[in-house]
Amino acid sequence: MLLVIVDQDRGVLDELSLQAITFANSVDPSAPLVGLVVGASGREVADTLGRFGFTDVYLATAPDLNDYSAAACGRAAAELVSTLAPTAVIAIGSQRGNEILAHLGAILGLPVATECTSLSLGSPTHVVRARWAGNLMESAELHGSPAICSVVSHLAPPAAAMNQTALVTEFFPNFTDTDLAGQVRSRIAESEGGTSLADAKVIVSGGRGVGAEGFGPLEELAHLLAGTVGCSRVVTSAGWRPHAEQVGQTGTKVAPDLYIACGISGATQHLAGCRNSKTIVAINTDPDSPIMAVADYAIVGDLHQILPALVAATRTARGI
Amino acid sequence: MEILVCIKRVPLSGAKFSLTADGRDIDTSRLGFTVSPHEECAVEVAVRLVEQHGGSTTVLSLGVEDAEEQIRDALAVGIDEGILLVTDGEEWDAQATAGAIVDAIAESGKSFDLILFGNESADASGNQVGIRVAHALSRPTLSGLKGVQVSDGVLVGERPAGSVREVFEVSLPAVATVKDGAAIPRYPSVPGRIRAKKKPVHRSTPTRPLSLLAKQSVSVPESVGKQTKILGSGPEGISALVDVFRSIGVI
Amino acid sequence: MSNVPASAKCVVIGAGIVGNSVVYHLARLGWTDIVQLDKGSLPNPGGSTGHASNFIFPVDHTKEMAQLTYDSVKQYREMGVFTECGGIEVARTPERMQELARRVSSAKSWGIDGTSIITPAQIKELVPYIDETVILGGFYTPGVGVVDSLRAGTIMRERAQEMGALTVCAGIEVIGLDVEAGRITRVRTTQGDIEAGTVVIACGLWSPKLAKMAGAEIPLTPAVHQMKDIGPVPRFKDAKGDIEYPIIRDMDTNMYERQHGTGLEVGSYAHRPILHDPEEVPSVEEAPLSPTEFPFTQKDFDLQDEHSLELMPEIIGDESVGQKYAINGLLSLTPDGMPILGETPEVKGLWSVAAVWIKEGPGTGRAVAEWMTHGESEIDLHSSDIARFHDHHKSRKHVKDRSAEGFNKTYGIVHPAEQWNSNRNVRLSPYFEREKSLGAVFFETVGWERPFWYESNAHLLEKYGEAVMPRTAEWESRWWNPIINAEHLAMRETAGLVDLTAFALFDVIGPGALEAVQRVAVRQMDVAVGRVVYTPVLANGGGFKSDLTIMRLGHDQFRVVTGGAHGMADKKWFRDRLPADGTAQIVDLTSKYTTLGIWGPNARKILSAVTSADVSHDGFAFGTCRTIEVDSLRVLASRISYVGDLGWELYVPIEQGAKLWDVISEAGSPHGLLPVGIGVYGTTGRLEKSYRAFGNELETDYNAVEAGMTTAKVKAADFVGKEAHLRQRDEVQITTLCSLTVDDHASKSGQKRYMLGREPILTKAGGPIEDAKGRRSYATSAGSAPSLGKHVLMSYLPPEYATVGTELLVEFLGEQYPVTVAGVGAKPLFDPENLRIMS
C-alpha cells in the first residue's frame, strides 16, 4: 500500500498533489492508495479525496494546529507510517511536498529521494531523479522502507476524478511544541510586483542584454498583452529588477502560454524556470545562444530596436 | 548572536554538461566553482543579521580541499571564520551530510542561535539537509524563506505562497533554510578579500558513512531539439511575431 | 544553420578581430569569393577578442609592433570605435624611471609624438584616484585609447559583405583541412566541404589545432591573464562614457587599472604563468561564460589585490566597491613574443594570422592581406614571419617554457640584448667544449650557443687600457664586456678565430639552379664556378628581404650562406621561387657543415702553415672559394670578410670541425691567433666598415639605393624587385644610410654613456628628423668601433643632413648627446680603401 500526502491550504486542495496520485498509481498499479491530509481545515478536502482513487484517507488534526506546519505534517506522516507500514510515501515535489518529506525522513531516520521521475520498489529501491533542475538525471539506489519520494511537478498528469468514495479516518498525532511552533502565523499581501509570475499567462522577460534602463518597452509590451514582466538572475543580482520577477531554478518556475525572452542567453539556471512555457519567443542578437534550444520562434537582432517597434505593432494590432 | 551558515561547493555550469568517462559525474575539469544561489543569499542574510544585532558568523562546508575557495569567498563578504570538513570528493548523501554537520557543531563548542542553509543545493536539490540538522538538534525549522528577520530572540520568516506571503515565527535557537531572493548578495571588496586571507579556517576530516541514497550514474537528458523558427532579423520579423500573438490568442 | 558554399577563392577561419580584419582588407584589395567561418556565433564567437581589455598603448620598443599598432589605431579611428583617453605607465622604482626614459626615446624613433615623463603630482592631476606617494613618476602617452573591438570587427566584416566579396558562415566548425601535393585544397566542415586554394587560419588560440589538421604547425600556447571588474565606483557614478580617465599601467607590479563605465577593470600579468593546452578549451555550450573566459583563480590574484590597493586606495580600499566579474582570460603567447604571420612553410596556400592582440589587429589584417595579394606588405613583418621558426622552436616544451618565461616580462624591463634562461644548450657547435674551457660567455641565437666573448682574453684588457672603451653605467654594461673590444683590437693586430656554426646553409641544385638563384639575387649569379657573391635579396617593392652570400660550387650547384636568425625564412623565400618545372631543389646543409672564420693581418700566414694550397693574394682572389686540404681535411675555403679584414671562412663537415679548430689553433698560436666572439663579428667589425645587417639597416622599409648597396650596373636577367630597383635608381634619393660617431659621452652627471641601438637621432635643436616618406631617423645599429676609438651609430638621414660633418644629437635614456656624421653611404670609416681585405 502506498501513502500519498495531499496538501491543502485553508481548505483548498493543492492541484499539484493530484499529480502525485497519478505517479503513485504508476509505481504500483495494484497497490491500494492511502491519502493523508493534515489540519482540520482540510476536512472537506479529505472527504472528497476518494474520487481520486484512495481506499482510505486519514485526516490529522490537533486543537493547537490551526494552519500549515511542515514539521506537523511530517510528524503526522511518521505516525501513519508506523501504523500502516506502507511500501512508499509519495508527495509532489513542491516546496511544501519536499519539506514535509524531509521532516518525515528526519523523524524516521530514513533517506528521502526528492524530484523523482521514476520509482521502482524493491531491495533496494531504484529511483531516477532530477538534478540541476532537470538538466542532469541521476540513477540511484534508495535503501529504506518505506521508500520516501517526491515526484517532479508537471511530469504526471493530475489524477482524474471518478465516481468513488473513500473511508475518512481522523487521527490525533502527538505533535511536539516544536512541530506546532512552525505553523503559519499570518499572511500578508505580496509586496513586490503585480500579477504573480507563477500565474501569469504572458511573461515578457529581460536578461543582461536589456540593461538597467531598458525595461520600459518590456513593461509596455507586457501591459499590452495582459502579462507581467520577468527577468533572469543576472538582472536581479545587478539590482535592476526585484527578485519577485526572477524566472529560473532559484526564482520562479513558470509555464505561461507565452514567454518572450529578450536579451536572455539561456543559462541552464534560467531555462529550468521557463522551458515548460507553451510558446517561447526569443529576441536575441545571437542565433546560436542556448535560449534557442527551447524557443519556438526567434527574432535575431538588437532588442533595443526591435522592442519599441514590436510595442507599436502590438498596439496597432490591438486597435489602440 | 552567533550564526552558522552552511554552504556547498558546486560547479559553475554552461548550457551543457559533459560527463566523466565512468558516467558517474559531471566532468568538472574545465569548470569553475561557486555556491548555490540560495546559499549565497544565506551568507548575505547571516552577514546582515550580525551587522544589525552584533555577534559573529561562521561558515561551514563539507567538501574537497578546494572548497576552501568558497569558504574564503564567504569570509570575503564578512563571515568571521570557517569550518571545512574535508572529503575525498565522493558524494555524501543528505543524511550523512547532516550527521557530519551536527558532529562539527558539537566539536566547535559553540551554540549557534541560528543555523542557515540554502533551501536546496543547485546540484543535488535534496531539500533536506537543514531540516535533518534541526531535528538532530531538536530545533524548529523554517524553510523556503525569502524574508528573514530577528527581533528579541524571535526568528520571523516570510515566504511567498501564491498571491500572498506566509509569515512564520519561532524562538531562537532555530534553523532556517533560505531561498534566492531573501537578500541581494553583496560582491566582495578587495579589502574584504585581503582580510579573508587572514581569517581562521578550521579543518577536520570526517569519515563517510554508507550511503542510503546512493548515486549510481548520471545522464544528460535528450534535449527536445526544438526547431526554432526564425521570424526575421531585426524589425522585419515583427509582423510575423504579431501574427504568432494572434494565433496563440494573446491578442 | 546555413550551409557552406562548395568552393571559394579564399576561406578565412575565424571571426575575431583578426579574421574580420583579414576579410575586409582582402576585399579592399580586390579579392572576391571569400568565405569566413567560425564555430561560434556573431558578433562574439567566444574567442579572446570577446573579453579583451581593448586598450592600446602605441609605444613599443619593437619597430614592427609599433608600426602595426600605429596603423591599427588609424583604422580604429576611421571606423569611429576609438576613444582616446591617454595612458600613463607609472614607475615605483628608479630602474623603472630609466626604462620610461627609454620609452620616450622609442616613441620618438617610431614617430609617436606627444609623449613625456611626468611627475607624481602631474599624474595625480590626471588620475585623482591614484596615491601618488607610491610612485616616482610616469610615462604619459596622450594618444592611448580604448576600442570597441567587437564593433570594429563587425564593421570590417560588413564592409566586406557590402562589397559583395564575402560570405559569412557562423556556427560552423572546421573538422579537416585537405592537402594535396603540398598545397591546401579543401576545408571540411560540419556542414559540408569547401574547395579552396587559399585558407587563412585566424583562430587565435585554436590556431595550432587547425594547422595540425593540415600537417602544419603554429607554435603558440593558450595562456591566462587575469582581470577583474569592480564597482560601482562612487567617483565614476555619473560616467557618461566608457572611459574618462587615463589608463594606468603599474609597470613594476605588472598590472593595469582602467575605468570601465561605472566600474574599474584591474588586470594582471604578474601571476605565475598559467598555460593551457588547446584541448582544454571547452566548447561554446560547455563554457559558463565563453570558451576563453576561464574561472578566476583568486589565489593567483591575492598579491595583486594588495598592489592595486597600494596604488589606488580610494577605489580599491572602498568597501562598497565589489568584485562583480573576474576571469582568467585566455590569450595566445608565442616563444619569442611576436605574432605568427605568413604562409606556413609546410603547406602552400595555408596562411597563419595568429597570436595577434587587439592593439595590432587591423594593422596585421592589412599587412597580411597585402602580403597575400602582392607578395609583400608595406610594414616589414620579418619578426613575425612564421617561417622564422626552426624545428625545435615548435616543440611543445620550447613553446611553453619560453612563453612562460616571456609572460612575466609583459611589462618588464627587457634589455635589448637580454638572454633567455629556459631551454638552453639545444644546438651546440663542435667547438662547444673548447669554447667553454676558454671561458666563452654564450649568447643564444635560434638555439645555437655562440660565444659572445671569451674570458680567456681578459688579459688583453690591461694591454689595451682605455682603448677598450670601458663602460661604467649599469645598463649598457649588461650583456656586454670590454673584452669584446679587446678581442677586436687584437684581431686587427694578429688574427681571430670565429665560430660561425650558426650560419644557415642550403644548396640550390639541379639544371634550373642558376635560374633559381638569378631570380632571387640582385647581383649577377652567372659567374664562374668558385665565385662568391654577396648580394641583397629584394622584395617586389625594392625593399630588403635579406642579404646573403652565394657560392657557385658547380655549374648546377649554388651554396647559400645566411645568418642563422633569418635562415629559415630565407630558405622559404628561395623555395617559393624555384622554377615551377621542378628543375631545381633546395638541400638544407645547416647541420651538415660547420664554419670557422679566420681574419686578421696574420690570417694568411696561419692558413698557409696548414695547407699547401696557394693562398696568396693572387693565388686566392677575394670573393672566390675553393676546396683546399688542411691537414687531412678537405676544407671549402671562401675568401670574404664580414669583419673587414684579411681572411677566410672555412667550411668542413660538422664532425670534422673540432679537428679543424685544433689544427688552426695550433698553427695560429705563434702568430697570435685568439678566439674571437660574436661581439666582434656581429657588431664591432662591421660597424667600422659600415656593413649593413638585416633587421637593422636592411628591411623592406628601405631600398637598396637608400642603403647604399647598388652597383654600377644592374644585370640584364630578371630578379624579384628589379623593376622597382631600376625605378629607384632614377628617383631622387630621399634618405641615405650614414655612419655617425658620438662626440661626447658624458651625461649630466659626468658618467660616460653608450647607446645600444634604436635611439632617435635628432636635430641640434632636439627635434625629430623625418624624411619625405615620414620615416624617422634612429640608430639602426650602435656599438663600439675600437679601431677608430669611437662609438658608432648607423642611421638613415634625409639629404639635408646626410653630409660628413653634420652635427646632430642622439637621445639615450632621457639625455641628448652630440653626434657627427662621419660617413655617408657605403664608404667605410675604417680602412676605407679596403687595403686589409685586399691584402
In three-state form (DSSP H/G/I as H, E/B as E, the rest C), the secondary structure along A126-188 is: EEEEEEHHHCEEEEEEECCCCEEEEECCCCCCCCCCCCCCCEEEEECCCCCHHHHHCCEEEEE
Q: Give me the mean pLDDT over the B23-52 stretch.
A: 92
- The region of weakest confidence among B41-45, C170-174, C254-258, C510-514 is C170-174
Would residue B144 be called left, alpha or beta, if left means φ above 0 and alpha means ψ between -120 and 50 degrees?
left
A interface test, pick of C2, C39, C41, C290 with most A CB neighbours within 10 Å: C41
Q: Across the interface, do B232 and A236 touch by the CB < 8 Å criterion?
A: no
pLDDT band at C1 (very low <50, low <70, confident <90, very high): very low
Whole-number average pLDDT of chain C: 95
Q: Residue C84: what pLDDT? A: 96
Least confident range of A94-108, C44-58, C606-620:
C44-58
Q: Tell me the chain B residues in contact with residue A287 when contact means C-beta distances shorter than 8 Å.
A: 230
Tell me the angle at which helices B94-108 and A95-108 cross, rounded to the nearest 10 degrees: 70
Same domain membership, residue A119 and residue A85: yes
Chain C within 8 Å of B234 (Cβ-Cβ)?
no
A102–B123: do the CB atoms touch at under 8 Å? Answer: no
The distance in angstroms from the start CA to the end CA of chain C is 76
Provide the 3-class DSSP secondary structure of residue C784.
strand
Are A165 and A202 contained in the same domain? no
Helices (H), C35-174: 63-79, 94-109, 120-126, 149-162
Q: Is residue A187 part of a domain?
A: no
Burial class (CB in 10 A: 0-12, 13-18, 19+), C725: buried
Q: Which residue has the higher pLDDT, C44 or A3?
A: A3
Residues of A in contact with C239 (CB under 8 A): none
Nearest chain B residue to C317 by CA distance is B191
Touching subunits for chain C (3+ Cβ pairs under 8 A): A, B
Least confident of C68-82, C320-334, C576-590: C320-334
DSSP-assigned letters across all residues of C675-723: E--HIIIIIIHHHHTT---BTTTBSTTSBTTTTT---SS--SS--TTHH
Q: What angle do CA C813, C471, C89 make, to 5 degrees?
A: 20
Query: Does A286 contact C284 at a Cβ distance shorter than 8 Å?
Result: no
Q: Give the pLDDT score at B225.
A: 61
The verdict on A67 and A169 lying in the same domain is yes
- Mean predicted confidence (pLDDT) in C689-697: 94
Q: Final residue of a domain: which of A114, A147, A181? A: A181
| pLDDT score of B224 | 61
Would you state the pLDDT for residue C541? 94
Judged by a CB distance cut-off of 8 A, whether residue A118 touches chain B is no
Q: Which chains touch B (3 or more CB pairs under 8 A)?
A: A, C
Same domain, A146 and A19: yes
Q: Tell me whether residues C302 and B190 touch, CB distance under 8 A.
A: no
C289 to chain A: nearest residue by CA? A267
- Distance from C-alpha of B152 to C-alpha of B141, rounded to nearest angstrom: 18
| C374: helix, strand or coil | helix
pLDDT digit string (tens) for C96-129? 999 999 999 999 999 999 999 999 999 999 999 9
pLDDT per position as a tens digit, A19-35: 999 999 999 999 999 99
Q: Do B216 and A243 touch (CB under 8 A)?
A: no
Residue A193 has pLDDT above 80, yes or no: no
How confident is the model at residue A208, as a pLDDT?
Answer: 86
Spans of all domains in chain C: 7-47+152-219+337-400, 84-141+222-333, 415-719
Is the pLDDT at C788 greater than 90, yes or no?
yes
- Enter the DSSP assignment of C387: G
Is residue A213 over pLDDT 90? no
Q: Does domain C7-47+152-219+337-400 have CATH number 3.20.20.140?
A: no
Of B16, B190, B191, the CB nearest to C286: B16
pLDDT digits (tens, 9 = 90+) for B65-84: 999 999 999 999 999 999 99
**Each residue of C533-552: pLDDT tens digit?**
999 999 999 999 999 999 99
Sign for the CA dihedral angle at C742, C700, C556, C446 comes to positive
User: Is 60 exceeded by the pLDDT of residue A178?
Assistant: yes
Class of the C84-141+222-333 domain? alpha beta
Helices (H), C720-827: 722-730
What is the pLDDT at residue B162? 79
**Mean pLDDT computed over C159-181:** 95
Mean pLDDT, residues C601-618: 97
Considering only CB atoms, which chain A residues are within 8 Å of B161? 9, 187
All domains in chain B, ordered by first residue = 2-204 (3.40.50.620)
Catalytic pick among C25, C51, C225, C271: C225
Nearest to A182 among B141, B233, B238 (CB): B141
Are residues C171 and A287, on separate chains, in Cβ contact within 8 Å? yes
Q: Could you tell me how far CA C355 lies from the centroid of its own chain?
A: 14
Whether residues A199 and B38 touch (CB distance < 8 A) is answered with no
Position B234 scores a pLDDT of 74
C294: chain B residues, CB-CB within 8 Å: 30, 32
What ipTM score was computed for the predicted complex, to two decimals? Answer: 0.93
Do the Cβ atoms of A286 and C42 come within 8 Å? yes
Q: Same domain for A213 and A115?
A: no
CA distance A311 to A217: 7
The three-class DSSP label of residue C157 is helix
A237 and A145 assigned to the same domain: no
A vs B: CB pairs below 8 A: 275
- The three state secondary structure string of C732-743 is CCCCEEEEEEEC
* Residue A90 domain-assigned (yes or no): yes
Nearest-Cα distance to chain C for B237, in Å, is 18
Give the closest-approach CA distance of C380 to chain A in angstroms.
38
Q: How far apart are CA C4 and CA C37, in angstroms?
A: 9
Q: How far is B164 from chain A (nearest CA, A)?
A: 5
Using one digit for the tens of pLDDT, what is the confidence trace for B127-167? 999 999 999 999 999 999 999 999 999 999 999 887 789 99
Percentage of residues of chain A with pLDDT beyond 90: 71
Distance from CA of A169 to the nearest CA of B (A): 28
Query: Which residues of chain B have a CB within 8 Å of the CB of C326?
Result: none
User: In the numeric block, which cell numbers belong to residue C330?
Assistant: 585566455
> How many domains in chain A?
2
Give the distance from residue B83's alpha carbon to the nearest chain C alpha carbon, in angstroms. 19
A211 plus A311 within the same structural domain: yes
Looking at residue C791, what is its pLDDT?
Answer: 97
Residues C755 and C790: their CA atoms lie apart, in Å, by: 12
Over residues C462-484, the mean pLDDT reads 97
**Is residue C556 annotated as part of the catalytic site, yes or no?**
no
Which residues does chain B have within 8 Å of residue A298's beta carbon, measured at their own beta carbons?
A: 228-231
Confidence band for A191, pLDDT divided at 50, 70 and 90: low
Grid-cell match 631551454, residue found: C423
pLDDT reading at C398 higher than 90: yes
3-state secondary structure (DSSP) of residue C75 = helix
Q: What is the pLDDT of residues C185-215, one digit of tens each?
A: 999 999 999 999 999 999 999 999 999 999 9
**Residue B235: per-residue pLDDT:** 75
Distances (CA, A) of C344 to A103, C64, C387: 68, 20, 7
Does A44 touch chain B if contact means CB atoms closer than 8 Å?
Answer: no
- Nearest C-alpha of chain C: how many angstroms from B159? 28
- Annotation says C225 is catalytic: yes
A290 vs C285: CB contact, 8 Å cut-off?
yes
According to DSSP, the β-strands at C673-675 and C495-499 are parallel
A293 in the same domain as A248 = yes
**Choice between C296 and C553, residue whose per-residue pLDDT is larger:** C553
Question: Which of these, B151, B127, B113, lies nearest to B3 by C-alpha position?
Answer: B113
Quick one: cell of C257? 587599472
Q: Which fold has domain C415-719?
A: Gyrase A; domain 2 (3.30.1360)
Residues 95-124 of B with CB under 8 A from C: none
Domain final position from A116, A149, A181: A181
Residue from A135, A175, A274 to probe the interface with B (highest B Cβ count within 10 Å) = A135
Shared domain for A12 and A73, answered yes or no, is yes
| C788 in reach of chain A (CB within 8 A) | no
Is the pLDDT at C285 greater than 70? The verdict is no
A298 and A171 co-located in one domain: no
- H or E stretch at C268: strand C263-268
Three-state SS across chain A? Answer: CEEEECCEECCEECCCHHHHHHHHHHHCCCCCEEEEEECHHHHHHHHHHHHHCEEEEEEECCCCCCCCCHHHHHHHHHHHHHHHCCCEEEEECCHHHHHHHHHHHHHHCCCEEEEEEEEECCCCEEEEEEEHHHCEEEEEEECCCCEEEEECCCCCCCCCCCCCCCEEEEECCCCCHHHHHCCEEEEEECCCCCCCHHHCCEEEEECHHHCCCCCHHHHHHHHHCCCEEEECHHHHHCCCCCHHHEECCCCECCCCCEEEEECCCCCHHHHHHHCCCCEEEEEECCCCCHHHHCCCEEEECCHHHHHHHHHHHHHHHCCC
Higher pLDDT, C1 or C141: C141
Say whether both A157 and A275 belong to one domain.
Answer: no
Chain C nearest CA to B203, separation (Å)? 19
Q: Which domain holds residue A260?
A: 197-317
Q: What is the CATH number of the domain that holds A202?
A: 3.40.50.1220
- Asked if the model's pLDDT at residue B226 lies above 70, the reply is no
Task: Report yes or no on A191 lying in a domain.
Answer: no
The residue among C469, C214, C246, C228 whose CA lies nearest residue C348 is C214
Out of C140, C256, C691, C817, the active site residue is C256
- Non-local (6+) Cβ contacts of B245 within 8 A are A225, A258, A314, A317, B251
d(CA A143, CA C511): 85
Residue of C nearest to B227 (CA): C1
The Cα–Cα gap between C393 and A229 comes to 58
User: Which residue in the list C380, C547, C701, C771 is annotated as catalytic?
Assistant: C547
Separation between Cα atoms, residue C585 and residue A103, nearest integer Å? 84
CA A258 – CA A81 distance, rounded (Å): 43
Indicate if C642 belongs to the active site: no
Task: Give the pLDDT confidence score for residue C212 in this predicted structure.
Answer: 96
C308: number of Cβ within 10 Å: 27
- What stretch of H or E contains C15? none
Mean pLDDT of C349-378: 96
Is B166 in contact with A68 (Cβ distance < 8 A)?
Answer: yes
